[in-house]
A and B are shown apart, each in its own frame.
Chain A
Amino acid sequence: MAADHISGYASGLFALARAEGVLDRVEDELFSVAQAVERSGELRSTLTDPELPVDKKQAVMDELIGGRASSLTVGMVQLIVGQGKADDLPEIVRAMLEMAASFRNRALAEVRSAVPLDDETVKRLTSALEKATGKKVEVKMVVDPSLIGGILARVGDTVIDGSIARRVQSVRQTVNSR
């Protein structure tokens, strides 16, 4: 059921953006919003607080993206928040991006790096991912200091984790299992 409603919202967003002819822009804006919600615990807990009225949550989102994102993106985000689905926003956006990439006969590659990557490195990474997965990919970059160092790439259900955080986690599990 969870996958159904995420897929349903994602389809709606994709269809709207495509109908309005602003698919690329809406994709980028939604991706930024999803990253903000995913990385900010405070923002996420505010949006998912059952005690806080919906209009207050929508006011918070309006303050965050109101003047900077397109009205379509703002409307989509407000719809999701208004329906009490803010917690699912990152998943909905990811599903929508995958649909858009699929529409262009490509796969979505979400790449996280501890530090920003230059264009050359992104290009090299894209071709390496295409070679590894056998698909044309669209890379969405996220700078994520929680990785400490290295890169984590996710294409569909495939995760290629070369981060220091993963190694630290592995060491932690080894220590705890003794």
Chain B
Amino acid sequence: MDLLALLLPLAQEETEEGSSGLEILLPPTNELIAGIIAFAVVFFFVWRWAVPAINRSLEQRQAAIAGQIEEAEKAKTEAESLRSDYRAQLDQAKTEANRIIDEARGTADQMRADIVAKAEQEGEQIREKAREEAAAEKSRALAEARSQVGEISVDLAEKIVGEALDAEAHQNLIDRYLADLERL
């Protein structure tokens, strides 16, 4: 109840002022002219200096951004080029590495073959030397045995002859010696 009593007088005041509302809304003419002139002055200044300045600033920024984009493009191109170079170098390195590995494998195979061949050759030489030494040893043993048999035979013959020589045989030897001497 108290609130209704408070709002009612306010509604009555608003209805009394409704006949001069446009006047309240529009400013007085002199103020309007002064405002238009002020606006024109402000507009002139803005149009004459601020807008070009803003435009120049925008253009500069645009140019700067374009430059940055161009630099970025350039950097990107360089990066692409470097990557391409790196990839090419990598490929070359891989190829070189493969070549070296193949070459090393080939060398190792050759070395292995050489070592095996040399070992076989040395083995054959050792066998041949052993055969020769065995043959020489056999020959030496045979020669020694033959020599010993010869020595023993001669010793035996010497002994037998010495024992078999009686006085008559000695005299025959002396007579033969004298006969040979007399014939000289």
Interface residue ranges, A against B (CB under 8 Å): 113-115, 117, 121, 124-125, 128-129, 131-132, 148-151, 153, 160, 162, 164, 168, 171-172, 175-176, 178
Contacts and interface: CB of A to CB of B under 8 A. Distances in A.
Nearest to A113: B174
Contacts of B42: none
A149 B173 contact: yes
A90 to B, nearest CB: 24
Nearest to A132: B184
Contacts of A132: 181-182, 184
A150 B173 contact: yes
A128 B153 contact: no
B174 A172 contact: no
B170 A121 contact: no
B157 interface: yes
**Pairs of residues from A and B, 3 with the lowest C-beta to C-beta distance, nearest first:** A175-B150, A162-B177, A128-B181
Interface residues of B, number: 23
Interface string B152-167: 0110011001100101
Contacts of A114: 165, 170, 173
B162 A148 contact: yes
Contacts of A125: 178, 181
A151 B177 CA distance: 7
Contacts of A162: 173, 176-177, 180-181
A175 B155 CA distance: 12
Contacts of A164: 158, 161-162, 165, 173
B154 A172 contact: yes
Given A132-B184, A168-B161, A178 B146 contact: yes
16 contacts: A128-B181, A128-B182, A131-B184, A148-B158, A148-B162, A149-B165, A151-B174, A162-B176, A162-B180, A162-B181, A164-B173, A168-B158, A168-B161, A172-B151, A175-B150, A176-B150
A161 to B, nearest CB: 9
B174 A150 contact: yes
Given A131-B182, A149-B165, A160-B181, A117 B174 contact: yes
B184 A115 contact: no
Interface of B is mostly: helix
Nearest to B163: A148
A124 to B, nearest CB: 6
A107 to B, nearest CB: 15
Contacts of A168: 154, 157-158, 161
Contacts of B169: 149
B95 interface: no
A114 B172 CA distance: 13
A175 B174 contact: no
A98 B107 CA distance: 87
B139 interface: no
A162 B161 CA distance: 15
A166 to B, nearest CB: 11
Nearest to A165: B158
A115 B172 CA distance: 12
Contacts of A150: 173-174, 177
B168 to A, nearest CB: 11
